[in-house]
Structure 1
Amino acid sequence: MNVIVQAWRRVPTVSAKFLLILVPVLVATTLVSASLFFYGRQQQLRGALHGRIAAMAEVNASALAPLLWAFDATGVRNVVQAIAVNREVLCVEVSDDLADSRYVWPPPGCPAGSALAVERRPIRTQAQPIGSIALHYSNATVWEQIRQEALNTLWLIALMLACTVLAALGAQRWTIGRPLRRLVAAIEEAERTHAPRPVSWASADELGRVIRAYNAMLARLDAEEAALRRSEERLSLAITATRSSVWDYHLRTGDYWWSREFPALLGYSPDELPMTTATWESLLHPDDAERVIRGSRRRVRDTATSYTAVYRMRRRDGRWAWIEDRSTALRGAGGTALRLTGTMSDATERVQAELDLARERNVLQITLDNTDQGIMMVDRDLRVVMSNRRAAELLNIWPEFLAGNPSFADVVELQRGAGAFDEVGDDPDLHLAGLAEDGTGLEGNAPGRLDQPFAFKRRRPDGTIVELRTNPLPEGGFVRTVTDVTVEARSAESIFEAMQALEVAYADLKETQASLVQAEKMASLALLVAGVAHEINTPVGIAFGCASHLTAKTQDLAAAFESGTMKKSDLTAYVAAAGEASRLIQQNLTRAAELIQSFKRVAVDQTSEERRRFDLLSYLEEIITSLGPTLRKSPHRIALACSPGVTLDSYPGAFSQVVTNLIMNALTHAFPDHAFPDGTRGHIVIDVNELPDDELAIRFADDGVGIPEENLPKVFEPFFTTRRGTGGSGLGLHIVFNLVTQSLGGRIGVDSRAGDGTTFTLRIPKTAPTITGEAATPDAAAPDPANPDCADPDCADPDSAGQAPAITEGTAA
């Protein structure tokens, strides 16, 4: 193989190499193509010959069938002679099974075991075999035809190959040879004159691109040479500016060289220091000399390529300068260092800063070790880089273990072995340790990066509770503080238990309050029932008396009619009495129906939280009417001042409860029996005024005994009462306060002085706010209680517009 490669390289021209490749390829390709073609042609001719012989055998088998059946030997021989005329057939055999004879041409018979092909067909008459015919033929004619065609084709192929080679050689010389000659000439001229110039050739093919690339390379080399000169200038300036120098040391020859900046680093002039190894060693600090020289000699034997060393050298003024020496080793084939090249720079300020930083770190560590709070810093790779003794103590691990900069996963594993996570299985530290084990870390783009600080508490097996606060660092990792919060945590647990007990007590209080509110509602309903019984009694009694009177009159008239003594005057008197009785019955039953409708509406409102639109004046009158029996038992009176047509879209049940509680509170507390021994009347005034912003001001004023000043701040508190021993629950005004501020969406205040009466002032909106959980919007078109046939508040009595507020006084019947 090497011989072939060497011979190929010795070919003098590209054209010769081109021909050495092209001609064999063309010849081989042509021969393969011709072989495939003639093989296919030979198969085609053989198939055609076989088809002809097969057809001849079929036709002659049909022709011989009647001859064999008729035992016509002469006819059979004639057919055999006719078949033998074909030059492809070399032998014919016909067997007659009926006569047990054979007919063969040529007479000697077909050669046995010859290489001739045979086509055999049975001879049948009426589907019964009576003999057979066999035609023996040869493929010699096929091969003769193939040979003639191959000779003609070879001459044509030879002519085509010659023309192709000549055309390809001419194309190669025109497209490749000329530009290559120009390129070679330009390169040889550049080698002679050392002044390369571009090649003048323009073409879009590969050689054109090569020549353009060569010209571009020449331009780039010129630019790079200029840039290199500028870079050398900049490097010289940078070395001078950074107080650095370049040096080079040949290990075999012992030649030492350094740039002129090295003596300047130590305060010497360029000619004061000889460029020798002894000079460099003499400037080393005695404490660093052995270490530095030994390290320099070791570079010859090891396999590293770059080195860094920091040591002290003596300046001209006797002081010591810290030098940072960076070098690179050039090694031979066996790995032995042949040459060392590097830079030396003045690192005095940096080393001094590092020494100062180390001292400050030492002071910081001492300070941290004396703090009562544990502190630990973890880098982005989840490795502990700083901690104090208090952190090791609170985490229940050895200080020496943390001082060895272990991974965070090792710290967690050590704590796990001590049982730190037995009580809490999902401790955040287990997640952070998992990030360390799978190699994710807390890098800037890692999913495990801490974005926000977090804190949690952990109970140690000995009962100590520590709080761990973790704050992420900008470059990754985190700082953790560990604080003993056992005392605070136990105090918090005590407070939590107290709060739980308070919540239970508050829930019991709410349940009791709800029960009392329900009891108050039932008491109001009882008052309503009493009012219904009393108010309906009078019209029903009158109607019953009139009906009894009319019944007696009817019986008298019927008796007179039956006895025949009835007079015209009796009938006239009966008609007059019946008309008057019917009028009184209708009038009083209508009054009873109106009272029942009014009481029914108030009762429904007091036992439900339905929201609807209602007329304020009519509804207040209904409430006062429902309290009639209670009011009639006392000498005190209620006056109502409210303009007609004032409507509210609110909760009438809550409003009824407020009015009832305020009236009953006044009757119970404002007018005690001992304050009115002679039956003097007390007065309660309900005054309604419309305010801007669609609000109402409702004043409940009485001229009773008033409220002592020290009790005023407590009147709305639950269970505050001055009549604890006489049945007072202390929830009446508390219920009023809740209903006004929550259900009605308003405010309530009280103003009183001892002996000068009490005034409760309500400010409520005409449209109450929607209570959370309300099923549907209130019906704005609810019937007006004062006019059941009117569904629109605007259809109130037009005569009531502009009238003064109606004054209604509740008295005993």
Structure 2
Amino acid sequence: MTRIAEAWRRVPTVSAKFLLILVPSLVVTVSLFSALFFYDRHKDLKTALREKVATIAEVNVAALSNTLWTFDVQAVRNVIQAIGANRELVCIEVSDDLAGELFSWPEPGCPPDNDAGIERRPIRAQGLQVGSIALHYSHASVREQLRQEVMNTAALLLLMLAGTVAAALAALRLTVGRPLRRLIASILESERGGGHRPVDWRAADELGRVIQAHNAMLSRLGREEAALRKSEQRLALAITATRSSVWDYDLRTGQYWWSKEFPALLGYGASELTMTAETWASLLHPDEAEQVMAESRRRLRDRAMAYSAVYRMRRQDGRWAWIEDRATAQRDPDGRARRLTGTMSDVTERVRTELDLAHERNVLQVTLDNTDQGIIKVDRDGRVVMANSRAAELLNIPAEILAGTPQFADMVAVQRRQGEFGEMGDDPDLYLTYGISGRPPAGGDGNGCEDGGGGFPDMFGDPPGEPAGTIDQPFTFKRRRPDGRIVEVRTNPLPEGGFVRTLTDVTVEARSAEEIFHAMQELERAYADLKETQASLVQAEKMASLALLVAGVAHEINTPIGIAFGCATHLTGRTGSLAEAFERGTMRKSDLAAYVATASEASRLIEQNLTRAADLIQSFKRVAVDQTSEERRRFDLLAYLEEVVTSLGPTLRKSRHRVAIACSPGIVMDSFPGALSQVVTNLVMNALTHAFPADGKGHMVIDVDETPDGEVEIRFADDGAGIAAENLPKVFEPFFTTRRGTGGSGLGLHIVFNLVTQSLGGRISVDSVPGDGTTFTLRIPKTAANPQVPASVPLETEPI
């Protein structure tokens, strides 16, 4: 196959390749169709010959019937001689059955040719068969006629093939060859530097569009070359104006080059510095030379494409200039650096300004750290840009986190994980987090805080055109920390956006108010306990399955939350280390790269595990909300059953039992999903408790069918121990159980019966054979009527 491809590439012209494809294709196509045609023609000729011989036999049967009846031998021979005049016949046999004789032509017992055909006809006279005639005929005439037709057709096809090839070559030359030669001539002229001459050819076909695109490309190249020349001129002016220079270092040859602006940066003349790497190294500051050279060698080993460094170089007058060096590497396919190209700019003024600004910032930070109030500043993008140590203490946040300029929302998240907000779902910072970050608040209604201007909920009304989280007026509130300290928080907006916050320890002043607040909380808690003790035992049983669901989901989400927390803690430690290195001025690019890699991996793990936990919580939330409400809505039955079974996954995984669902998709219910969820949950828990032995492995199936009368039939079957016949009539009675004293209350199936017959408006039955499993059959309408309130099952429940 490789040789064929290589030979095909060696074909010198398009016309030759065209003929190599066209001629064999035409020959094969014509040969195939001719073979099919002459095959049919051969069958037609053979059929015509057989019909002709059959006609001869039919015609002579009548003549022979009388001669055989009268035993006229001479007449028989004359008829045979007359029949033999047909040149297709090779042998004629007439048998006289009455006389027992056989007449043959051209000679007695003439052996028929193996390729000959035969036609036999009986000879009758006076209603009796007196003999028979057999005509043997040859196909030689058919073959001869077919040969002549094949030769004539072949000659005609050869003439047509020659004409077709000639016409195709002429068309190829006119439509492809001529414009292609002009296109090649234009390309060769451009390569020789003769300019970009467009191809003089206009056509609406594909080649015409290619030439049109080629002409457009030539025009664009001309414009780009002109623009490139202008850009080179501008670059030269920009390099001079920005006090920069360009350099290039060929690692293979060791040749070093820089533009004439580099010596000027350091106060030298254009020819005073030799263009070598040694000259460049000799100008480095002694305190930085080793580090800069090591960094330069590292560039040769790693696979990065761009580099940046700032270091000092000696000027001619002995002073030191800060140089910003930016470089780009060119590498071979193996990743080895072959060439370094970059720019060097004098950034002395910028570095001095940054150093002065850092000094002033340190002075300001020391001043703030010695104040008794905690102070933080948040910019318009919601980032904490300044904070003192007292703020870290009062917020109970590590100082290194605040030093890393975190998002305000992330700072609140750290406090929340540490339990700083406690049960205070109405803490204003939760709403402030929402306003700045776009994330929803944790809960609460904004009550219970002191504000300086008209109430907390109005503080975050952003005017049109303002960024999210803009605070348009001051406000004040107090926060109680878990250790009992009371912190007064005052927030004032900034004109450019963002705000400044002060935190003051007012524990002593707020102690009396706290005592009153605690007393009110105790009263509310006592009232809540009183309400809980008034709940009925039936309601407690109804919520038992939800409690199991909560416990299972809590166990399931513990692993992803633990992983996410561990990653966040590790990332916090790395952030502190990086901030400490930054403060000491010892941070290196490798430290930052390692931190970015760690942060990227930690963020991925945090996002992955929190997404998993969110999916578990969302599934639990939908099922739990349905179980604790009497809301009626439309839902897809299959999807909802799968959601309920998924919510029971933590409980099922503790055992070896499995639940399968057999339900057609597209069954839409307009009913009460909470009641249906409670029914399915109780049936599964009932089977786990009663149907299977402790170390057994069981199967449960939920089978759903639609009925013609607008109902659905749900069959819940298990392959467990079954129910004794004497217990079947009592399974739906309240407080009936066979496991009393071992965890059974006897209310699970009673609740199922009430929910099915009253809330869902259906009916339920049970069928069981001891040792052969149990089947509960529910028939409920797809569109539920208004449910009747069961006397023993309260409709209103406390939310989870």
TM-score, normalisation: structure 1: 0.44
The structure with more radius of gyration: 1
